[in-house]
Amino acid sequence: MTLPRITALTARHVRVPLPRPWGPDVPANHLVVARLELDDGRTGTGFSWTPRAGASAVHALLMRDCKEAVLGLPAHPETVWDLLWNRLHEAGSGGVTTLAMAAVDTALWDLRAAAAGHGLADELGRRRESVPVYGSGINLHYTRDELVAQVGRCVARGASAVKIKVGHASCAVDAERVAAVREAIGPDVLLMIDANQRWDLLRARRALTALAPHDPYWIEEPLLADDLTGHVRLRRECGLPVAVGENIRTVHGFKQWLDAGACDVVQPNVARVGGITPFRRIAELAALYSVPVVPHLLPDVSGQLACALPLPTMVEDVEDASFAALGLLRDDGPVEITGARLRTTGRPGLGLDFALDGLTEVAP
C-alpha cells in the first residue's frame, strides 16, 4: 500500500501570556503551530514551543527549508525526520533546527495515530493506564510565603511530589526556602530541586551539602547543561540523584551523558529534541542504561508519551502552564489530571485542537 504524500505545510507563531510569569523576563511563552496536508485530503496538527528565544527563527525555518524539504515526501514520521535531519543539521544539531523539526514530526504522529483511530499513547505502545504527576512551578522569584503557598496548592490537589527552584546568590536563602517547603509538605511528599544551571562546581557542592538534610529526591541541572565532566564529578561526590536533559538536544547527546554515568534521570523536552521520533529513540536508549525518562514540561503531550515509556516515570505539571490551562485548546485536551494521576482521554491523534484566536500573532 502506498503511503499518502505531503502536499502542504503552513505554520503560525503566537505569543502566549502566562498568568503566572516565570520571572520578570518571561511574561509569556511562544507557540508555533504547524499544519500538514496530505494528498488524500487529511490534515495533521503539530507544534513547537519556546519560552523566550528563537520562535521567529523556528517559524522561518519551517516555512522555508522545512517546507521545501518535506513536500512530496511520504507521510511517515521516521522517514521524514531522518531526511529532514540530513538536510538541516548543518544549521545546528539542536536549537532552532530541532525545534522546527518537532513541529513537522508531531504533525505526522498526529496523522498516524488519528488514522489508526486512537491516541498517541496507544500508537506508541501503551504500557500503563495512568502516570503519577508532580506539581511544579517556575518560582525562584517568588517570596518564601508565595512559594510555600504554591506547593501547598499542589499537595491540596493530591500531588505526592513537588519541585521548586533553587539557585539564589545566597546558599542560606535557598536552605531557608527549602526548609520551609519541606515543613509545609511533610516528610512523605517527594521534594525535587532544580538549579537551572545557576551553580558552578564549588557552589553546587556547598549548596547540596546545606540542602541534603531536607531529603531532596533529585537535583536538576545543578551546573551548565554543557558541563558533562562537572556533572560526573558532582554526582560522584554529592551522593544525590542528578536529573538532566531539558537542554540536551540530540540522541547522540543523551548517549554521551548516559555513557559517562552523569545522571540518574533524563528529561528530554519533546519540542527541543525534535519531536516524538527522537524522543522515542532517547527513551529506548535510556532504558538500556536503566535510567528513567521523565518528560520535561508540556503535560498535554508528555503525559501521553509517559504512558508508553519503558520504565516507570512521572509527569511534570507546572502550575497554570499546560496548553489546556493556558486556554490554548478548544476543549479539555487529550489528558486529564485527577489528584496525583494523569490519564489520557482517548482522543485520536495528539488530541490537540488549538484555539489561537485572540492571541498576538508574531509577524514573520
Catalogue the active-site residues: 165, 296
Name residue, grid cell 508528555: 302
Between CA 49 and CA 290 the distance in angstroms is 29
Give the pairing type, strands 335-338 and 6-17.
unpaired
The cell for 198 is 545557576
Between CA 312 and CA 358 the distance in angstroms is 39
Which amino acid type is present at position 107?
Answer: A
**Burial zone of 169 (CB within 10 Å; 0-12 exposed, 13-18 middle, 19+ buried):** exposed
- Alpha-carbon torsion (61, 95, 50, 87), positive or negative: positive
Residues 6+ apart with CB under 8 A from 77: 105, 108, 109, 112, 275, 276, 277
